[in-house]
Structure 1
Amino acid sequence: MRNLVIDIGNTRIKSGLFENDTLIADHVFEELGAGLSVWETLDFDACMISSVRFRFEELAELVPFPFHFLSPTTPLPVTNGYATPHTLGVDRIAAAAGAWQLAGKKAILAIDMGSCITFEFVDELGVYRGGAISPGLKMRASAMNSFTARLPLVDVDRKAPDLTGDSTVSCMQAGIWYGVEFELTGQIEAYRLKIPEITVYICGGDSQSFESLAKDHIFVVPNLVLHGLNCILNHNVE
């Protein structure tokens, strides 16, 4: 079975074409129109769209082919144990479902490093329990600039700075970078103490900056949300 899955975020649109569970093509677009011009040329059996930008009614008028729309009421391959499922971001549950499937339907921690860093936990029974949300790299830099009188807005490179900064800018960069790195390693270790066999997946725009964390049971999978959407779509069409 061939599936098209589309993830419409606030700034970018990502899509993936799957043959069963294998990603055979992926694209990134800035605007919906550019995506439509590509998707209309593809051969697929089913489609699922996840969007934080458009409502279903809006997409139904714009997209010329039938699709499933990921919403809080969409049946999931994992049990949703979240206390407020109507507030759960669709990208969060998709990342959790994707990690759970890649791990062989075992306990996982999915970490999505975007504007915010989200931690999603699915237990060994296949129950999504929730996780944590904290500011991402750029948000931390912006917050220090916005909420102080003299701290500048600093860039955070894609490689680790010196642990000890020797200027205000480099101190801020070190604080941002290692604050995130130590948060990641701390969260992973806390879950590992509870569930030693847990598998960790890291995705999102800043994930490749922290590829050094990848080792046994920790994997960097940039297209994790697309894998999750494909997993959810298969669950709804099979």
Structure 2
Amino acid sequence: MNQLVAGLLEIGAIAHDDATVKAALEGLADRFEFSGYAYTKLLPGEFCVISNLHPDWLKRKRKFDLDRRNPVLRRAQQSRRAFVWSSQEENLSEEDQSFFGCAAKFEIRSGITIPIAISNGAISALSFVSPKPVLTAQEEIDPIAASSAVGQLHARIEQLKVAPSIQEPFYLTPKEGTYTRWLSLGKTVEDTADIEHVKYNTVRIALAEARRRYDLCNNTQLVALAIRRGLV
């Protein structure tokens, strides 16, 4: 497995565009007899996956991830270190069995996941998946080296702005968009209410609804997300 980590380090060093990153990850998965890969980033208000797995599975995975019903991602968030997983593990809850039952329809039964901590207490996780019921590793994976390799890959993906295979939809209503745009220009909620000739609570409630929809803590996060998505 440490050869897999070495391959990840090479990708972080040589990848120079969107296509190179995806092709290199697919080639690495194939080299070690995995059926595919999935790189997942889950931040408040931002979910994206870069993967060569079946699009229908990625849509279902998105639902499991956002509802916090993906046992692999849940373990990644708790452990923050590389681990091997399998659908044959003992004492799986009914919810976990449901996840693995759905994954099995797409020939996903085991794999290895390497999570890393990123900003705002969130994680990114790279998984290589297999149709085998149990993944047998010939050698233990070095968790420190693995985290370092995925950290470099994460930085490269962010630098190159690699297009996600699937991304959480994001929208603002016309009022939410207008109020958020004023905030992005440095106006306060009070200023925005005065400019738009509405009550303070009208603006406050609209912004609160937008934050609630995407699990955001404050208006700064809302403005940042709206800017990243090109809505303001």
TM-score, structure 1 normalization: 0.27
Larger radius of gyration between Structure 1 and Structure 2: 2
In terms of fraction of residues, the more helix-rich structure is 2
TM-score, structure 2 normalization: 0.27
In terms of fraction of residues, the more strand-rich structure is 1
